[in-house]
């Protein structure tokens, strides 16, 4: 099945990766055939037809669970759309505690996008009417749509550095990212996408002061940041099946399969955890974990993360943790009589876990903050009923995203954010079910929510796309909620006509944002002051057609975006030979440099 482009749109564009499935093998159903790639962003009717894009990919690894057809890429308008002793979860917070639920106003007319239900089983239809309401706040107009490196700190978006980046220009106020002497960028290096016969995961993308490292088919390659040449290449025992975005001491962690595919075992299980030195490419160690239910069968993982000096991996089969430096086992979670198990971990400044108890069809979920060294829970918060899965978007403070009762609209899969205090008590609950906002959280993955960043005591997220003042093309805004009160603030930064923005990470008190461009422009990286919402441009990419089409072939919520020190890398998560020849070139990654 394919999604036709909107009227008068050329049927070309990006080859965005399918909706993120857990990389580990656990006998799930075969995913349905993804739709054809979307059209380029914001193309006006007068544009001539472009070359036919690569055909939709056939179903791949049956280990991957079927979430339905992948939703349209966010930001692309007018297209379809802890040791062995582990205590049981503690008691939930006291009932009846006062909670502020801040829910945005509903639109004055019919909302765009999808309706109720699990939006991962529906196609998002963008291009349907979205009536924007205008909120007058302090005299301003608000458009709300239809509804580092060698230190021990963790760079939470796969990027790190040794203090301030080098450069002569001052940093944007509140951050360390310096404004280049010229914000006009040029291509650094574009690497073609490998084309294996069967789909292969190439998840993993890291950017430091001196190297960009990217998972490839059966290997990880490091590229220098001067001319993009290879700095090192490390062959792996098997294909990568997962990776963390976090970096500690220039090290990061990956998951890889138990072996390469063979005729006897076409889909090996994702059982190996490894740590790689990003400076040298050396695989420092690798390990497996035995099943908590007994036997010699290793645990199958779907996610891995890092918090400080602890590497933690988890999945539907269990979890385990190791010391980052030497791979020494630290702890494994206990499987108790209540059928409780760790679903997955989130790292960064602290280590969090979503723990599931009871039946798979009606689980009770707990969000716990763990001691990274022992795995012992520091607190345990019981989530509301009707939540089959949850994601963690921040561990310090702890902010959990969930789709309560399948009430999220517009395919965001996020209806509520739960903000916990240092004692694990609910501090605020933020309602996002109206569909006015554009974050996204995949099912079953704990640390893969996108479109939300936490800093300055707030959570920043984009509004849902809506029509601007131009005849074609859509736009949106960066908004925020106060984590103390749960109420929406007056913060607002406009993407600009025909641009849509997408927050990537925090830089001190600033928000690093990628702007998805219209058809005749290149994308931008901007730094937005988290207090004043003033924008500082850090990078402007070429509008030249070949460069622009390569850039916009990557969908912001289905690809890896890494920016640091005037370098931007956009990378794929999956690789496979197209089912038919022709179409635009396909890339493992493209990159830009400003100086």
Give me the pLDDT at residue 513, please.
98
Whose tokens are 């394919």? That residue is 2
Domain residue spans of the chain: 105-593
Residue 550 is inside which H or E element, if any? helix 545-552
Q: In angstroms, how far apart are the furthest CA atoms of the chain? A: 68
Distance of CA 272 to the CA centre of its chain: 22
| Structure token digits, residue 374 | 């022992």
Give me the pLDDT at residue 435, please.
85
Nearest 5°: CA angle at 537, between 595 and 146?
A: 145
Percentage of the chain surpassing pLDDT 90? 61
Higher pLDDT, 280 or 128: 280
Asked whether the beta carbons of 245 and 297 are under 8 A apart, the reply is no
Question: Of 148-162, 203-217, 234-248, 334-348, which range is least confident?
Answer: 148-162
Percentage of the chain surpassing pLDDT 70? 71
**Sorting pLDDT into bands at 50, 70 and 90, what band is 170?**
low
CB-based contacts of 344: which residues, under 8 Å, 6+ apart?
302, 303, 314, 315, 319, 353, 354, 444, 445, 446, 447
Coil, strand or helix: which one is 203?
coil
Give residue-wise pLDDT tens across range 352-380.
999 999 888 889 999 999 999 999 999 99
Cα separation, 29 vs 217, whole angstroms? 24
**Sorting pLDDT into bands at 50, 70 and 90, what band is 492?**
very high
Contacts 24+ apart (CB under 8 A), 401-404: 401/439, 401/441, 401/449, 401/452, 402/365, 402/441, 403/118, 403/441, 404/433
Cα separation, 38 vs 67, whole angstroms? 19
Give residue-wise pLDDT tens across range 528-541.
999 999 999 999 99
Mean confidence (pLDDT) of the chain: 78
pLDDT at residue 19 above 70?
A: no
Give me the pLDDT at residue 443, please.
80
| Structure token digits, residue 224 | 């220098």
Cα separation, 108 vs 407, whole angstroms? 20
The DSSP output letter for 259 is: S
Listed in order, strand segments (DSSP E) in 324-448 are: 329-331, 341-346, 351-358, 363-370, 377-382, 390-395, 398-402, 416-420, 426-431
For the residues of 143-195, what is the DSSP string, one character each?
Answer: EE----TTSSS-BTTSB--SSSPS-SSPBPTTSSPBPPS--B-EE---EEPP-
Give me the pLDDT at residue 553, please.
96
Give residue-wise pLDDT tens across range 414-434.
999 999 999 999 999 999 988
Give residue-wise pLDDT tens across range 550-575.
999 999 989 999 999 999 999 999 99
**Sorting pLDDT into bands at 50, 70 and 90, what band is 85?**
very low
pTM: 0.76
Listed in order, strand segments (DSSP E) in 56-175 are: 101-102, 133-137, 140-144
Give residue-wise pLDDT tens across range 211-256.
999 999 999 999 999 999 999 999 999 999 999 999 999 999 999 9
pLDDT at residue 26 above 90?
A: no
Give me the pLDDT at residue 171, please.
65
Distance of CA 22 to the CA centre of its chain: 13
Cα separation, 450 vs 431, whole angstroms? 17
Give me the pLDDT at residue 234, please.
98
Coil, strand or helix: which one is 287?
strand
pLDDT at residue 83 above 50?
A: no
Compute the average pLDDT of residues 513-521. 97
Give me the pLDDT at residue 271, please.
96
Coil, strand or helix: which one is 33?
coil
User: Cis link prior to 65 (omega < 30° from 0)?
Assistant: no
Compute the average pLDDT of residues 159-187. 72
Give residue-wise pLDDT tens across range 289-330.
988 776 788 999 999 999 999 999 998 778 999 999 999 999
Coil, strand or helix: which one is 406?
helix
Q: What is the CATH number of domain 105-593?
A: 2.130.10.10
């Amino acid at each position: 099945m394919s999604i036709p482009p909107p009227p008068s749109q050329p049927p070309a564009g990006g080859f965005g990766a399918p909706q993120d499935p857990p990389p580990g093998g656990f006998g799930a159903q075969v995913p349905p055939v993804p739709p054809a790639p979307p059209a380029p962003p914001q193309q006006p009717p007068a544009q001539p037809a472009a070359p036919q894009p690569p055909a939709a990919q056939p179903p791949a690894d049956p280990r991957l669970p079927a979430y339905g057809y992948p939703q349209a890429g966010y930001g692309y308008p007018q297209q379809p759309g802890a040791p062995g002793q582990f205590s049981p979860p503690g008691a939930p917070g006291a009932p009846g505690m006062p909670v502020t639920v801040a829910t945005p106003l509903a639109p004055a007319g019919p909302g765009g996008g999808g309706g109720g239900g699990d939006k991962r089983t529906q196609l998002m239809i963008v291009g349907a009417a979205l009536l924007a309401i205008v909120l007058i706040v302090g005299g301003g107009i608000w458009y709300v749509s239809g509804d580092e490196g060698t230190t021990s700190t963790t760079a939470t978006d796969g990027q790190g550095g040794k203090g301030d980046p080098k450069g002569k220009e001052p940093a944007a106020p509140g951050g360390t990212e310096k404004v280049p002497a010229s914000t006009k960028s040029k291509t650094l290096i574009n690497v073609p996408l490998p084309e294996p016969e069967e789909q292969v995961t190439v998840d993993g993308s890291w950017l430091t002061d001196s190297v960009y490292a990217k998972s490839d088919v059966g290997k990880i390659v490091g590229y220098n940041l001067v001319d993009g040449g290879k700095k090192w290449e490390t062959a792996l025992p098997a294909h990568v099946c997962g990776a963390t975005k976090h970096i500690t001491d220039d090290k990061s962690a990956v998951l890889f399969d138990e072996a390469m595919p063979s005729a006897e075992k076409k889909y090996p299980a994702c059982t190996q955890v490894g740590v790689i030195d990003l400076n040298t490419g050396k695989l420092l160690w690798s390990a497996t974990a035995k099943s908590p239910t007994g036997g010699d069968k290793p645990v199958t993982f779907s996610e891995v993360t890092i918090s400080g000096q602890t590497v933690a991996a988890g999945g539907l089969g269990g979890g385990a943790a190791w010391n980052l430096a030497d791979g020494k086992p630290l702890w494994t979670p206990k499987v108790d009589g209540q059928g409780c198990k760790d679903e997955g971990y989130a790292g960064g400044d602290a280590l969090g876990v979503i723990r599931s108890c009871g039946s798979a069809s009606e689980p009770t979920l707990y969000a716990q903050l763990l001691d990274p060294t022992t795995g012992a829970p520091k607190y345990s918060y019981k989530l509301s009923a009707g939540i089959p899965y949850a994601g963690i978007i921040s561990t310090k403070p702890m902010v959990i995203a969930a789709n309560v009762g399948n009430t999220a609209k517009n395919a965001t899969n996020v209806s509520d954010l739960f903000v916990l205090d240092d004692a694990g008590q609910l501090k605020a609950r933020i309602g996002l079910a109206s569909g006015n906002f554009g974050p996204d959280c995949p099912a079953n993955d704990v640390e893969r929510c996108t479109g939300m960043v936490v800093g300055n005591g707030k959570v920043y997220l984009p509004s849902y796309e809506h029509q601007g003042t131009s005849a074609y093309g859509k736009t949106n805004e960066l908004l925020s909620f106060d984590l103390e009160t749960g109420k929406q603030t007056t913060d607002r930064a406009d993407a600009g006509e025909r641009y849509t923005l997408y927050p990537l990470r925090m830089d001190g008190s600033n928000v690093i944002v990628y702007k998805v461009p219209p058809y005749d422009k290149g994308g931008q990286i901007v730094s937005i002051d988290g207090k004043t919402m003033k924008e500082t441009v850090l990078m402007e990419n070429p509008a030249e057609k070949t460069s622009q089409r390569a850039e916009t072939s990557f969908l912001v919520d289905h690809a890896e975006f890494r920016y640091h020190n005037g370098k931007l890398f956009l990378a794929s998560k999956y690789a496979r030979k197209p089912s038919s020849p022709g179409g635009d070139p396909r890339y493992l990654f493209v990159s830009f440099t400003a100086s």
